[in-house]
């Protein structure tokens, strides 16, 4: 066993030298991608925040205020994300059972998994995954089976997923896209990646039914209708991403006018994914129906749509409003086995 030690020490040192201050990388993440992400983090670390930050920001994000620079935001990020794996990482092949039985917090209380937890963005006509947080996925599997699963990561080791806060992210095809103009190192491109990290970090939060702060399918009439790319909560991943992006964009002294405009559109897109209320039909459709029914009122015919509207006016339905989810984290980090314990 000892003859392996020099090699193991060497690989351990190599790992330490290539990891950034916040993120650890699986062996399948290229040097170029590591460098880009580390530079993004360094950018955040040195980010000035001079504008007045509104109370909304703190209420939505759970960032402990007052924040005065990117360092405060970096601390929030560091509590929620820690490991990045490459696009080709196959969870099915690398998941293992850490313990056959495990006492979970809030036993039996799990989120509704009818939506997925990927960060999606429009790419021409189809959506492409930008990044995914695997922590809540593995934690969900663990809890639903009563076993503690872990993930074995080449270049990092075994990670028992006893909480979504293990912060295990996977790069998607949309994180480092081939750009028609500009470079992956451009300020606005770098900021967009950072906003994605904040989005993913939010998926490490939430407890019980809110574990993972999961998305819903966007409703009919929404620009992303049918994609699991909306939130029905006021403090989910899109709200957090939007708030962080808004504050950082407003404090971007080095951004060009065009870059600021692009970033502004991006955070407006995030906010547009927050579904504030769940109506059977949208307000716009209802207004159009009312207009049509008013015109038909003088005719002696019963139109089912108009009858339904009359019935609805007599017995107004309760319209569910988006809540603030319980964003406190679930589970605790299991201590990873020490270096020597793993050897013997």
CB of 136 to Zn ion, least distance (A): 10
Element spanning 131, H or E: strand 126-133
CB of 197 to Zn ion, least distance (A): 12
Nearer to Zn ion (CB atom), residue 20 or residue 228 = 228
CB of 114 to Zn ion, least distance (A): 15
Nearer to Zn ion (CB atom), residue 176 or residue 238 = 238
In this structure, the chain runs to a length of: 344
Cα torsion angle, 78, 83, 87, 93, sign: negative
CB of 109 to Zn ion, least distance (A): 21
- Residue written as token pair 């080709």: 88
Contact 206, 261 (CB under 8 A): no
Nearer to Zn ion (CB atom), residue 41 or residue 237 = 237
CB of 118 to Zn ion, least distance (A): 6
CA atoms within 13 A on the CB side of 332: 5
CB of 329 to Zn ion, least distance (A): 16
Nearer to Zn ion (CB atom), residue 120 or residue 249 = 120
153: left (phi over 0), alpha (psi -120 to 50) or beta: beta
Nearer to Zn ion (CB atom), residue 202 or residue 207 = 202
Provide the binding-site residues for Zn ion, judged by CB under 5 A.
Answer: 119, 237
Nearer to Zn ion (CB atom), residue 98 or residue 205 = 205
Residue 59 CB coordination number (10 Å):
14
User: CA-CA distances (angstroms) from residue 166 to 23, 24, 144, 153?
Assistant: 12, 12, 18, 13
Nearer to Zn ion (CB atom), residue 119 or residue 207 = 119
Question: HEC states along 52-120?
Answer: CCCHHHHHHHCCCCCCCEHHHHHHHHHCCCCEEECCCCCHHHHEEEEECCCCCCCCCCCCCCCCCCEEE
CB of 322 to Zn ion, least distance (A): 16
CB of 116 to Zn ion, least distance (A): 8
Task: Report the distance separating Cα 161 and Cα 39, nearest Å.
Answer: 28
Element spanning 34, H or E: helix 31-45
Read off φ and ψ for residue 149, nearest 5 degrees. Answer: -95, 155
Contact 241, 130 (CB under 8 A): no
Task: Report the distance separating Cα 5 and Cα 3, nearest Å.
Answer: 5
CB of 199 to Zn ion, least distance (A): 6
Q: Strand 168-171 and strand 83-85: pairing?
A: parallel
Nearer to Zn ion (CB atom), residue 102 or residue 195 = 195
Task: Report the distance separating Cα 299 and Cα 311, nearest Å.
Answer: 19
Nearer to Zn ion (CB atom), residue 70 or residue 136 = 136
Structure tokens at 257: 């006018």
């Amino acid at each position: 066993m000892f003859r392996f030690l020099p090699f193991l020490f060497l690989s351990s040192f190599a790992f330490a030298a290539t990891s950034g201050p916040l993120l650890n990388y699986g062996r399948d993440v290229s040097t170029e991608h590591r460098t880009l992400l580390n530079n993004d983090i360094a950018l955040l670390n040195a980010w000035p925040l001079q504008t007045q930050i509104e109370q909304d920001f703190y209420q939505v994000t759970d960032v402990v205020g007052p924040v005065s620079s990117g360092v405060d935001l970096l601390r929030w990020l560091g509590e929620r994300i820690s490991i990045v794996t490459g696009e080709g990482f196959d969870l099915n092949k690398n998941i293992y059972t850490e313990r056959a039985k495990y006492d979970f917090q809030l036993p039996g209380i799990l989120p509704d998994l009818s939506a997925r937890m990927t960060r999606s963005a429009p790419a021409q006509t189809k959506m492409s995954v930008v990044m995914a947080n695997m922590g809540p996925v593995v934690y969900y599997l663990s809890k639903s089976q009563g076993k503690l699963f872990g993930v074995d990561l080449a270049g990092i080791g075994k990670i028992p997923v006893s909480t979504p806060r293990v912060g295990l992210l996977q790069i998607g095809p949309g994180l480092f896209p081939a750009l028609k103009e500009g470079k992956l190192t451009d300020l606005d491109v770098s900021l967009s990646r950072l906003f994605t990290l904040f989005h993913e970090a939010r998926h490490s939060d939430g407890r019980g039914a809110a574990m993972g702060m999961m998305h819903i399918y966007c409703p009919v009439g929404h620009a992303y209708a049918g994609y699991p790319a909306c939130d029905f909560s006021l403090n989910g991943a899109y709200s957090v991403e939007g708030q962080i992006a808004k504050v950082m964009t407003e404090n971007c002294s080095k951004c060009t006018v065009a870059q600021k405009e692009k970033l502004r559109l991006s955070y407006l897109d995030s906010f547009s994914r927050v579904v504030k209320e769940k109506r059977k039909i949208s307000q716009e459709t209802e207004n159009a129906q009312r207009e049509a029914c008013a015109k038909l009122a003088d005719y002696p015919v019963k139109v089912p749509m108009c009858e339904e509207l009359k019935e609805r006016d007599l017995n107004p339905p309760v319209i569910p409003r988006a809540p603030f989810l319980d964003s406190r984290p679930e589970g605790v980090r299991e201590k990873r086995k020490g270096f020597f314990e793993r050897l013997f």
